[in-house]
Amino acid sequence: MLFLLAAHAAVAVTIPWWQRRAGRAVWVVALVPLAVVVWAGTRAPHVLDGGEYRESLTWAPSLGLTVDLRLDALSLLMLWIVAGVGALVLLYCRYYVERDTGRLAAVLLAFAGVMTGLVLADNVFVLYVFWELTTVASFVLIAGSGDDRDERRAARQALLVTTAGGLVMLLGLIMLGRAAGTYRISAILADPPQGGAVSAAVVLVLIGAFAKSAQMPLHGWLPAAMVAPTPVSAYLHAAAMVKAGVYLIARLAPALSDVAPWRPMVLAVGVTTMVAAAWRALRATDLKLLLAYGTISELGLLVALLGAGTRTAALAGAVMLLAHAAFKAALFLSVGILDRRAGTRDIRELSGAGRRMPVLLAVSALAAASMAGLPPLVGYLGKEAYFEAFLHGGSRLAGHGWLTAVLVAGSALTVAYAARFVQGAFGGRPRGPVAEAERPEAGFVAPVAVLAGAGLVLGVGYTGTAALAGAYADTYPPGPDGPYELSLWHGFTPVLGLSALTLTLGVLVHLGRRALPEAPRLPDVQRAYDRTVAAADRLAVAVTRHTQVGSVPLYLTVLLATVLLVPGTALVAGALSPGSPLLWWSPVEPILAVVVLTAAAAVVGSRHRLTGLLLTGAVGYGVAGVFLVRGAPDLALTQFLVETMTLVVVVLVLRRMPARFSPGRTATRVRLVRAVAAGAVGVLVTWFTLVASAARTAPAVSSGYTDRMKETGGDSIVNTIIVDFRALDTLGEISVIMVAAVGAVSLIRVGGRGPGRMSGGPGGTAPTAHWDEPARTWLPGAVERPGGERTLLLEVAARLLFPSVLVLSLFLLFSGHYGPGGGFAGGLVAGLAFVLRYLAGGRADLRAAVRAPASVVAGSGLLLASVAGAVPLLFGGAVLESTVVTLHPPLLGAVKLATSVFFDVGVYLLVIGVVLKLLSAVGVHLGQDIAEANAADTADDGATARGAR
């Protein structure tokens, strides 16, 4: 099962690459879900006999985090739906999608993998992760390329509604797990918890399920999502994603259906949604919108059946789950063919499509007949079963006789809108856009035919359908009259009469729908959603108008004041003792403290930006000196390198800004408030540090690291912690660094300057030549700057030092496991080497030094670190586990290699890539930026002088 998830991810990632070379060969992508269908088929005999398959991946054993997967009868049923419909939809994309096929196929396949993980998950947290990933995939697929306003709006609405429901559901699942004492779903089902907390958890979980499965009044996002391409609607919003909420209800119902709020909620919401949405479907003129409201109606029916808590209802729900996936996906795909060939899907414009496309009419009518519940189709089997469930529901459904009448009404409306779909889409004589429509290719219609034919096969072969659906239904005790069995003929029974009544009423409603009185207008949930979003926007504007005033000092003052008031008050109220710390450990520390404090005080009084930056760097170097004195050379080295890189990057940024700080004087009272806030926070942090150190009673977390260092093959405790003991933290941190770099580059490039003058100063006047100005251009990037801004000494020194600095960075990388250094320090040193090349030769010389794009270097580093952490799983180890390997190369003797070095190489590459990314953003044009900065500085000085006058 883990392999199936990995296969989906791997193929989805590589699709955009090979699809550009293989054309529109989407059928290759369909092989992955087809393989899942075959794999599930090989496991079916054991599962249908009551067995199950389990797999588990230990992620963080100390935290109890494991990826638990389980294949049972319900998972098998859902797996066939997800993979089977997914394969057919991908084959359909070959004819439907005209451009950007690779992207759509990749996201659809990724979604299929996420749904596979969701239905196999046996841990509430794993289920929630896959649950939210389906939301993300749905957002991407609905939004498309992001160019269309309606698509963006619908994607945002689906994201907000389903994510909010998912967060509510997560709280309920956590409460349920805490009450049960386990977060494994199968364990919760085997021994259901009791108590008031469970009732509250049930309500929260059901709200999340209702939002995901578009139950009223949380259904508005599904009709809005019909702006997505038809394959997306057929797969996500008919066959797969919206089934997630139904699946969760079906999964938990055997254990929780008797909890007080469960059954009233699922029955009331389910049948109300069924009838109200069916009525809306009857009034729709857009075929996709008709099917969307029909989907909401049938999802309501599934919620009521699978949440009712009886065997017959569960059997009917499982059958309808299969039936709905087949007929609704088929009908959506048929609408896509009509839209592609006729150019419209409006019932008022379509006429005669049945005569132009007889094969499509036949298969669509077959699917619509299954939706209406005509024999011998699988929809008829499900309809008979759910009438039986509620007509003879036993003690669990006692007092709910009204449900039978509501189900009859909902089923009749289903028949009516099924008939309206067929007549509206295919009836009449060919005219308008249909008259010139071309007949679709056989491959275009084939997926529709397979899905519609599946409804017939599952109906005629009801014994196989009964085996598949009954395996799940048997988790419930049989009804009062024994277990109900699926059959096309049970004799002349009241259930048969109800089924015939729904068909008759449905046909009458369809024929007389124009004469029907207007039903009471239901609340417009779309308008309610729009008003809620608009109110939130207005509130945000009102709040930010008073809080976001564009003053960074004000923001910092507010943040510092909050720190003082909240944790500061708690610290003072606790009256905790700071202990008796030593003033210093070494006589050098007071000297370093004076340097740091003097530099910090000088920063406050500086008026030039560069001066302030250099003084801030002096503070950092002084702190690095403290680390060195305290016996932490690794930390000192990293601090020195970070400060140096920060100085270089910020200086490059300062080239775009005036040399002086903004003109004008700040009021004395304001400066006093800022000084008090800053000083108070410094006292608070110092006091908190001393109190925290004195309050320790348990051994330090790192106390056992020294004893276990031999297992890693390392001698440096710092590097061992980074790449072995706390490697997961490191992986998260480098991911954050990469995300932050991408964000910073995006912000820097917003409103970036265009090409400017090639002159070296204001007004186009070249600066005075210097003694070391090169007489000719010999570096690739030398033409970026005028001669006066070049220095032959720096250009030659950079070329000579560059290889040596790179060798030093590699030495730090590979020696970090045994002494000061490591991937982060080595990457910073290499980054400084590339900075030197940039300063000497510009962007062109930097490109000559490193051929790969910065994003590729950084991405390769993150990928290498992730793969290095996952490889131990293939050998039965834990994630990010390191092993010492002893090699015996010729002439070198025994060489020990810790596999964590590959993780460190990934860190090394990522840091280099981030540095290159920042250089590409802040280093636009050296000469241009200097000229513009000088001009801006001159303008500022003039403004200051005028203000003084």
Cβ-based neighbours of 459, under 8 Å, separated by 6 or more: 370, 375, 376, 377, 378, 379, 380, 381, 465, 488
Q: Is 675 exposed, middle or buried (0-12, 13-18, 19+ CB in 10 A)?
A: exposed
Rounded mean pLDDT of 104-120?
A: 89
pLDDT tens-digit map of 233-271: 888 877 778 889 999 999 999 988 888 888 889 999 999
8 Å CB contact between 854 and 916: yes
**Rounded to an integer, what distance in angstroms lies between the CA atom of residue 815 and that of residue 192?**
54
Element (H, E) at 70: strand 65-71
**Rounded to an integer, what distance in angstroms lies between the CA atom of residue 783 and that of residue 844?**
9
8 Å CB contact between 216 and 525: yes
pLDDT of residue 748: 67
> What DSSP designation does 235 have?
I
pLDDT tens-digit map of 791-848: 777 778 888 888 999 999 999 988 887 888 888 899 999 999 998 888 887 777 777 7
Q: Euclidean distance between the first and final Cα of the chain, in Å?
A: 78
889 versus 534: which is more confidently predicted?
Answer: 534
**Rounded to an integer, what distance in angstroms lies between the CA atom of residue 292 and that of residue 519?**
20
Cβ-based neighbours of 441, under 8 Å, separated by 6 or more: 95
pLDDT tens-digit map of 857-901: 998 999 998 888 888 877 777 778 888 877 777 776 777 778 888
8 Å CB contact between 472 and 71: no
Element (H, E) at 68: strand 65-71
**Rounded to an integer, what distance in angstroms lies between the CA atom of residue 477 and that of residue 257?**
13
The answer, yes or no, to whether residue 327 has pLDDT greater than 80, is yes
The answer, yes or no, to whether residue 757 has pLDDT greater than 90, is no
> What DSSP designation does 195 have?
S
pLDDT of residue 204: 93
Binned at pLDDT 50, 70 and 90, residue 760 comes out as very low
164 versus 400: which is more confidently predicted?
Answer: 164
Rounded mean pLDDT of 510-527?
A: 68
> What DSSP designation does 121 have?
B
8 Å CB contact between 724 and 712: yes
**Rounded to an integer, what distance in angstroms lies between the CA atom of residue 96 and that of residue 281?**
25
pLDDT tens-digit map of 143-153: 887 777 888 88
Binned at pLDDT 50, 70 and 90, residue 131 comes out as very high
Binned at pLDDT 50, 70 and 90, residue 394 comes out as low
**Which pair of tokens denotes residue 286?**
């857009």
The answer, yes or no, to whether residue 442 has pLDDT greater than 70, is yes
Binned at pLDDT 50, 70 and 90, residue 283 comes out as confident
**Rounded to an integer, what distance in angstroms lies between the CA atom of residue 596 and that of residue 590?**
10
Indicate the length of the chain as a whole number: 949
How much is the CA Rg of the chain, to the nearest whole Å? 34
pLDDT tens-digit map of 546-556: 777 777 778 88
The pairs formed by 421-425 with CB atoms below 8 angstroms and a separation of 24 or more are 421/287, 421/290, 421/291, 421/331, 421/368, 422/361, 422/364, 422/365, 422/368, 423/510, 424/285, 424/287, 424/290, 424/347, 424/350, 425/287, 425/334, 425/335, 425/338, 425/347, 425/350, 425/353, 425/354, 425/364
**Rounded to an integer, what distance in angstroms lies between the CA atom of residue 130 and that of residue 146?**
24
Binned at pLDDT 50, 70 and 90, residue 931 comes out as very low
pLDDT of residue 330: 92
**Which pair of tokens denotes residue 458?**
């599952």
DSSP characters for 141-154?
A: HHHTTS--HHHHHH
Rounded mean pLDDT of 923-949?
A: 44
pLDDT of residue 828: 92
The answer, yes or no, to whether residue 923 has pLDDT greater than 80, is no
pLDDT of residue 647: 87
Tell the residue number behind the tokens 């000061």, with chain if given.
820
Rounded mean pLDDT of 508-535?
A: 74
What b/e readout covers 470-509, taking b as 16+ CB neighbours within 10 angstroms? bbbbbbbeebeeeebebeeeeeeeebeebbeebbebbeeb
**Rounded to an integer, what distance in angstroms lies between the CA atom of residue 330 and that of residue 324?**
10
> Could you give phi then psi for residue 188, rounded to 5 degrees?
-65, -40
> For 44-48, 112-116, 666-670, which range has the lowest pLDDT when averaged over its residues?
666-670
% pLDDT > 70, the chain:
87
For the CA atoms of 556, 562, 565, 568, what is the dihedral angle to 10 degrees?
-80
Rounded mean pLDDT of 749-760?
A: 43
pLDDT of residue 517: 59
Q: Is 741 exposed, middle or buried (0-12, 13-18, 19+ CB in 10 A)?
A: buried
Mean pLDDT, the chain, whole residue set: 82
The answer, yes or no, to whether residue 449 has pLDDT greater than 90, is yes
Sign for the pseudo-dihedral over CA of 196, 199, 201, 203? negative
Rounded mean pLDDT of 783-794?
A: 63
Binned at pLDDT 50, 70 and 90, residue 323 comes out as very high
Q: Which among 637-641, 645-649, 773-777 has the top mean pLDDT?
A: 637-641
pLDDT tens-digit map of 328-379: 999 999 998 988 888 888 888 887 788 888 899 999 999 999 999 898 999 9
8 Å CB contact between 716 and 634: yes
8 Å CB contact between 903 and 859: no
pLDDT of residue 606: 82
> What DSSP designation does 699 have?
P
